Amino acid sequence: MNVALVKNETGSALSDSFAIARDRLPGTGKVVGAREAAFAAYAQAGLPHRRIEDWKYTDLRALMREVLPLAPAPGTAELTRAATAAKLHAIEGVRRLVLVDGVFAPKLSELGGLEKGLVIRTLRETLEAGDAALQAQLLAPDNSNPMVALNSAMMTDGVVIEIADGVVLTQPLQIVHIASGNVPAAMFTRSLLRLGKDAGATLVESYVAADGAKTYQVHDSLIVSIGNNSRLDHVRLNEDSRDASNISSAVVSLGAHAHFNTFGMMSGAGVSRYQATIAFAGEGSKVETNGVNLLNGKQHADTTLFMDHAVPNGASREIFRAVVDDRAHSVFQGRIIVRPHAQKTDAKMMTRALLLSDEAEADNKPELEIFADDVTCGHGATTGALDESLLFYLRARGLSEKEAQALLIQAFVGEAIESIVNDGLRELAIAAAERWLEARG
Amino acid sequence: MSLLEVKDLKVRVEEREILHGLSLTVNPGQVHAIMGPNGSGKSTLSHVIAGKPGYEVTGGEILFRGEDLLEMSPDQRAAKGVFLAFQYPVEIPGVTTMNFLRTALNAQRRARGESEFLVPDFLKKVRNVAASLNIPMDMLKRGVNVGFSGGEKKRNEILQMALFEPAVCILDEMDSGLDIDALRIAADGVNALRSPDRAMVVITHYQRLLNYIVPDVVHVMSKGRVVKSGGKELALELEASGYAQFEDAA
């Protein structure tokens, strides 16, 4: 309702910027209607603030202040700089799909030689001409979460991936978000992955900045459906610039006997929030969701997970580790709901935070809502400093203070990183953690 | 020059003085045993030599090859050749023993300006040492001391000692928690490391360990001081008469 707070830097209301951007936003008919409804929902709520329980620890009015105007479509200069960043962050053996300033960049992407049963489209073309089922899936998220609503209103581009029944992709797919950051701006992206029955895939999402990128905002969302007997491995690495904000949402739904293994690492961005809803729609499915926050300076990173056990015989495991230095702030909110019919649910959540300075802060908020009576559910949370007796043991064996700390920090995050199945991707996460430790000096 | 010289050492923990002017001179090639009842300050001495935080040295000095040891950080002491075998080795989940050993060895070598060990050379060295101590390589792939028995933990300490080749080894209550077989294996490991260039300080409550590691010099500590020193027969004398006489003397 506080319209004054929904302003961009020029002082004009965001609704003006929505009006201005409208011509650039893909879709007609139903899509336009959905955008307008989403924008109205967002405009009424504004940026979420600390008086809203779900955003208690991540007050975007204080942290982000405003939503920046839609980033201009990248020109030759931006694409050239993005190409350099893409090379720098390239992962061997993956199929790269690149978004630059929120717009799909075909020249930087690898679209040749697609495996049989793999179809890749852009969000733009799907919203403009795609089939009704895909559009319905893309427009499915409701507007109750203001940041999802904003994303629904403004989504400009993204990647829409379909994997047919019975197809197990051997090559991981990677969606790379690159911000050229030429002018302070926001990018709004939405991607979709639809995995058929008896299928398998690995999806990597990376967020990086081109060299010299200025202030920018990433507003992203990912919609995933995993068919019966299918498996998706998902790795998310946020290495955005320190001047950036990254507000991302994921909505994942699993069929029966499906398996979702997801790992997220946040070491970048000044302000970030990753909110994921994982819904069990079919029986006998399994979810492992693991995450690591590596934060220093004044970084703020929030991981908010909602595990929705709606059917019987589901299993979920959440392992989350935060390493917080300087004046950084790590937030983990883990909500598990076991609905009345979801008997034999086995849900566990463990979150641990390591504080490396007196001013570092970690907030853990586990919430269990159990409405079934034959379930195994548990959660645990710890917060503490590095163990002095372990540090002394390592120092007595010749490790300097920094080396001893680094080894213990690696061990601390190791359990979560070990959950990554793909060797190459696990190495990548380990390397990212090592880079963070080295940068500590 | 003596290897390790403790001169009139006074140490406080919080407000309480634990060591009241302790002196000890250890020469290369020697094995010293320090015996004494619980609370006599034996472990405090070993901790202060290794540089454990939380102890305040209020008087005296510790020289290592004539250098002021108290001015050095624990890692500098380790690189110089001071090794403490812990009474209670800690468990470090998530750090494999192998990774820990290599990181530590190379950190010490770097500090001394020596080249780091490459993986194949390191593996060869560890394999040889482990075999001599009856340590299966599988054990080294697990987290440091995680799930190790008391005997395995102590053997892991001796493995490190053999790998790092320190000049002075302080063995703090190596026999605690070990049955007779485990004790024999550990003691054999220690004896194999005796050399004319190396000295050992064996801290123990019981004479039993000294049947396996035969000392050159035995010191009796009581109430924060060395109250008597003598040859290995002093240990046997203690076994027969107990510590009470020295507690009175102190």
Nearest CA in chain A to B53: A392
Q: Look at residues B250, B248, B249, B244 and name the one whose alpha carbon lies nearest to residue B37.
A: B244
Contacts of residue A16, Cβ cutoff 8 Å, sequence gap at least 6: none
Contacts of residue B84, Cβ cutoff 8 Å, sequence gap at least 6: A396, B46, B47, B49, B50, B170, B172
Nearest CA in chain A to B75: A398
Closest partner CB to A398 (pick from B52, B75, B99): B75
> According to the model, what pLDDT value does residue B21 have?
94
Q: Which residues of A touch B (CB under 8 A)?
A: 387-390, 392-401, 403-404, 407-408, 410-412, 414-415
> According to the model, what pLDDT value does residue A84 have?
95
CA–CA dist B76, B108 (Å, integer):
8
CA–CA dist A261, B179 (Å, integer):
46
- What pairs with residue A184 in β-bridges? none
Residues of A whose CB is below 8 A from B89: 393
> According to the model, what pLDDT value does residue A9 have?
36
> According to the model, what pLDDT value does residue A23 have?
83
Q: Cβ contact (<8 Å) for B104 and A401?
A: no
- The C-alpha angle B193, B126, B184, rounded to 5 degrees, equals 45
> Along the 441 residues of chain A, how does pLDDT read in single tens digits?
334 444 443 334 577 778 878 888 999 889 999 999 999 999 999 999 999 999 999 999 999 999 999 999 999 999 999 999 999 888 889 999 999 999 999 999 999 999 999 999 999 999 998 789 999 999 999 999 999 999 999 999 999 999 999 999 999 999 999 999 778 999 999 999 999 999 999 999 999 999 888 899 999 999 999 999 999 999 999 999 999 999 999 999 999 999 999 999 999 999 999 999 999 999 999 999 999 999 999 999 999 999 999 999 999 999 999 999 999 999 999 999 999 999 999 999 999 999 999 999 999 999 999 999 999 999 999 999 999 999 999 999 999 999 999 999 999 998 889 888 888 889 888 888 888 888 876
**Nearest CA to CA, how far is B155 from chain A (Å)?**
16
- Sheet with A200-209, strands from edge to edge, namely A103-104, A95-100, A173-179, A200-209, A231-238, A259-266, A286-295, A315-324, A346-355, A376-384
> According to the model, what pLDDT value does residue B248 have?
60
Q: Cβ contact (<8 Å) for A396 and B103?
A: no
CA–CA dist A233, B147 (Å, integer):
31
- The two beta strands, A361-370 and B4-13, are unpaired
- What pairs with residue A321 in β-bridges? A292, A352
> According to the model, what pLDDT value does residue A6 have?
45
> According to the model, what pLDDT value does residue B173 have?
92
Nearest CA in chain B to A387: B92
Inside any domain, residue A42: no
Residues of B whose CB is below 8 A from A396: 50-52, 74-75, 77-78, 84, 86
**What length does chain B have?**
250
CA–CA dist A77, A34 (Å, integer):
34
Please give the backbone phi and psi of residue B70, each rounded to the nearest 5 degrees, phi first: -65, -15
CA–CA dist B226, B207 (Å, integer):
17
Q: Cβ contact (<8 Å) for B73 and A412?
A: no
Residues of A whose CB is below 8 A from B78: 395-398
Inside any domain, residue A66: no
Within 13 A of B185's CA, how many CA atoms are on the CB side?
20
Q: What is the interface size between A and B, counted as CB pairs within 8 Å?
A: 75
Question: SS3 string of A279-330?
Answer: EECCCCCEEEEEEEEEECCCCEEEEEEEEEECCCCCEEEEEEEEEECCCCEE
Inside any domain, residue A38: no
SS3 of residue A434 by DSSP: helix
Inside any domain, residue A56: no
Under the phi-then-psi rule, with left for phi > 0, alpha for psi from -120 to 50, and beta for the rest, what region is B189? alpha
DSSP H stretches of helix in A46-173: 60-63, 76-88, 123-129, 132-138, 146-154
Query: Cβ(B49)–Cβ(B41) under 8 Å?
Result: no
Give the number of other CB atoms < 10 A from CB of residue A28.
Answer: 10
Closest partner CB to A403 (pick from B107, B143, B164): B107
How far is the first Cα of chain A from the last one, in angstroms, to the nearest whole number? 46
Q: Cβ contact (<8 Å) for A397 and B89?
A: no
Nearest CA in chain A to B46: A396
Domains identified in chain A, total number: 1
Please tell me what DSSP assigns to residue A172: P
Residue of B46, B99, B100 for testing the chain A interface, max A β-carbons within 10 Å: B100
The low-confidence residues of chain B, meaning pLDDT below 70, are 247-250
Residues of B whose CB is below 8 A from A393: 86, 89-90, 92
Residue A239 is part of which domain span? 73-439
Residues of B whose CB is below 8 A from A399: 75, 103-104, 107
| Second-level CATH architecture of B4-249 | 3-Layer(aba) Sandwich (3.40)
Closest partner CB to A398 (pick from B52, B79, B86): B79
**Nearest CA to CA, how far is A431 from chain B (Å)?**
16
Closest partner CB to A390 (pick from B52, B90, B99): B90
Please tell me what DSSP assigns to residue B232: T
Both tokens of residue A47? 């940026």
Q: Which amino acid is at A367?
A: E
> According to the model, what pLDDT value does residue B249 have?
53
> According to the model, what pLDDT value does residue A308 have?
98
Residue of B46, B48, B49, B52 for testing the chain A interface, max A β-carbons within 10 Å: B52
Nearest CA in chain B to A400: B75
Rounding to the nearest 10 degrees, give the CA dihedral for residues A423, A427, A430, A431. -170
Q: Look at residues A215, A73, A222, A54 and name the one whose alpha carbon lies nearest to residue A151.
A: A222
Query: Cβ(A438)–Cβ(A307) under 8 Å?
Result: no
Within 13 A of B3's CA, how many CA atoms are on the CB side?
23
Q: Cβ contact (<8 Å) for B94 and A410?
A: yes
Reported ipTM: 0.96
Composition of chain A by helix, strand, coil, percent to 5: 25, 40, 35
